[in-house]
């Protein structure tokens, strides 16, 4: 984990690590707002992208955008520190 202290961090504090999971299929501004809010609550944000198989089990259909592409999108958001 590569962490740079923020204004909320004190010298003795540990980073607050946040996690936001989702399908992020057909990524839209609502997804962006969820991730932005999550980042406002932590120092280091991990965004978890649900697998194609799990999404099919949950929703009964394969995602429109494959996992690799959804993960690529999430990883390129400036305030997301890690996409998994």
Which residue ranges form the domains of the chain, and what is each CATH number? 17-83 (3.40.50.620)
Longest dimension (CA), the chain: 48
Average pLDDT (16-33) is 98
pTM here is 0.83
Residue 20: closest CA among 38, 2, 42, 32 = 38
Distance of CA 57 to the CA centre of its chain: 21
The CA distance from 12 to 23, in Å, is: 36
**Nearest to 24, CA basis, from 74, 59, 68, 58:** 74
**Amino acid 13: pLDDT:** 80
Task: Give per-residue pLDDT as tens, 42-64.
Answer: 999 999 999 999 999 999 999 99
Of 45, 36, 42, the closest CA to residue 82 belongs to: 45
């Amino acid at each position: 984990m590569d962490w740079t202290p923020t204004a909320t961090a004190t010298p003795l504090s540990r980073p607050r690590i946040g996690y936001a999971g989702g399908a992020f299929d057909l990524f839209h501004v609502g997804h962006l707002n969820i991730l932005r809010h999550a980042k406002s609550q932590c120092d280091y944000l991990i965004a978890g992208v649900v697998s194609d198989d799990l999404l099919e089990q949950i929703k009964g259909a394969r995602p429109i955008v494959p996992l690799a592409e959804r993960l690529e999108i999430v990883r390129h958001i400036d305030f997301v520190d890690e996409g998994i």
